[in-house]
Amino acid sequence: MSEVQAAPKRPRPRLDAINRPFWTGGAEGKLYITHCNDCGEWTHPPREFCRHCQSENVAPEAVPGTGAIDTLTVNHQAWMPGLEVPFVIARVRLDGVPGVVLTTNIVGSPFDAVDFEDRVRVTFEEQDGIWFPLFEKVEG
């Protein structure tokens, strides 16, 4: 007889000064992406220097949190014991943040109702002080 396996926790990013705004911004409902105050470009994953002009004058900036699905995969394999499948892994192209995509999960819709170019909006899932930016479909 097998025991019911509890759903696994999301692997937890190790926080540091550079990645903390991204992983904890959800506490204030904000999605932060590193922005360069000199050249205006975005750097993601976040870094200490702008990856376009190498300026140190960078800071996390709240972005709209909407976007479109660039590509996706419906994951059927339980990579960890108890992981509920299938679910959608997607790359989301963020509005107002040219050149940045986020790997994330699309939640709140059946796995077979998610498609390329679907419009999505961020929704945060909190676990032990980390606010994971997931996305859900929006109309239009």
Partner 1 sequence: MAKLIEAYVTGVGQSEVGVRLTRSPMGLTMDAIRQALDNAGLTFEQIDGVASYPGKSHGYLGFSPIGVDEVIEQCGIKARWHMGAGEIPAQLSAIAEAANAIKTGQARHVICFRTVYEAAAMARPEEFPPLRRDSVDGSSQWTAPFFAISAACWVAQYANRHMNRYGMTREQLAQVALNANRNGLANPNARAISKKPLTLDEYMESRLITTPFCLYDCDRFTDCSTVLILSAGDALDEVKSTPVRIAATAGAVHRHSWDQAEWMASYDTGPDLWAKTDYTTKDVDTVQFYDGFAFFPITWLEALGFCEVGEGHRFIEGGTRIARDGELPLNTGGGQIGAGRLHGFGFAYEAVLQLTKQAGERQIPGDPKVAVATSGGGPLAAALLLARD
| Interface ranges with partner 1 (CB under 8 A) | 9-14, 19, 44-45, 70-77, 79-80, 83, 86-87, 89-91, 99-105, 116, 130, 132, 134
Angstrom distance (rounded) from CA 58 to CA 43 = 9
Cβ 132 to partner 1 shortest distance, Å: 6
Beta carbon nearer to partner 1, 1 or 14: 14
Beta carbon nearer to partner 1, 30 or 93: 93
Cβ 99 to partner 1 shortest distance, Å: 8
Instruction: Go through the chain and tell me how many residues it has.
Output: 140
Beta carbon nearer to partner 1, 30 or 105: 105
Angstrom distance (rounded) from CA 123 to CA 108 = 10
Beta carbon nearer to partner 1, 1 or 78: 78
Cβ 70 to partner 1 shortest distance, Å: 8
Omega prior to 45 cis, within 30 of 0: yes
Q: Is 124 helix (H, G, I), strand (E, B) or coil?
A: strand
Q: Is 68 helix (H, G, I), strand (E, B) or coil?
A: strand
Cβ 101 to partner 1 shortest distance, Å: 6
φ, ψ for residue 123 (rounded to 5)? -140, 135
User: How is residue 35 written in tokens?
Assistant: 């922005």
